[in-house]
Amino acid sequence: MATKTSELLSEAAPRAVAVVRAIRDDQFDLPTPCADYSVRDLVNHLYQVVVNFQELAVKRLPKWDKTDYLTDGWRDRFAAETERLIEAWADPAALEGVSPGMGLPPETVGEMPLLDLTVHAWDLARATGQPFEAAPDVPAVLHAFMDRMGDTGQRMGSFGAPVDAPPDASPLDLALARMGRHPGWSPR
């Protein structure tokens, strides 16, 4: 069985997994478009998102701790955890009620790991010199999410102040600019 949330995660996850798998250990200290995060920090954060949003899908409060997930076999484990994330959000029960601890509709909560898998995959691709293209259906979801949650996300520090996007910006670039990322960011 699948839900719209799991279908979107199924589109985004393989793209994020490909970027994560291609990160070399000697790239861990590189800067990213997330000013407070190195590549290592951001991979750990993304890993934590993938694990903890499985818990939210089954209506359990996650443990937001400082686990270092980048130990032996971390790339394969990350891929396996993204599959578990998709499976967790494929259960229609994941979309019922209200999310524990967040008080938000589950559809909105399910869009959060979609956002992270896309935006942080872009961040990591930019930081490590990889190509990245968002899943075709995702930028529209990111824009709709920003319409509903962008102001709250800014107040909470999840998003920066919007920046200008170039006139020829792609839908993903426009969403990134809304989140405070410069679409042309490079580590140099």
For the chain, the structural domain boundaries read: 4-178
The DSSP call for residue 94 is G
- Write out pLDDT tens, residues 33-50: 998 899 999 999 999 999
CA dihedral 88→89→91→96, nearest 10 degrees, is 120
Q: What is the CA radius of gyration of the chain?
A: 16
Task: Give the span between the Cα atoms of 25 and 18, in whole angstroms.
Answer: 15
Please count the residues of the chain: 188
- Write out pLDDT tens, residues 112-142: 999 999 999 999 999 999 999 999 999 999 9
- What pLDDT, on the 0 to 100 scale, is given for residue 103? 87
- What pLDDT, on the 0 to 100 scale, is given for residue 102? 84
Task: Give the span between the Cα atoms of 78 and 17, in whole angstroms.
Answer: 7
**Quick check: 1 pLDDT over 80?**
no
pTM for the model stands at: 0.95
In the structure encoding, which two tokens stand for residue 70, read together? 């980048």
* Residue whose tokens read 């029960």: 93
Say if residues 27 and 62 touch (Cβ distance below 8 Å): no
- Name the 3-class secondary structure at 178: helix
In the structure encoding, which two tokens stand for residue 118, read together? 């896309």
Report, as an integer, the average pLDDT of 99-111.
Answer: 90
**Quick check: 82 pLDDT over 90?**
yes
Matching CATH number, 4-178, of 1.10.10, 1.20.120, 2.60.120, 1.10.287: 1.20.120
Single-letter amino acid, residue 152: T
**CA 130, 135, 137 angle in degrees (round to 5)?**
155
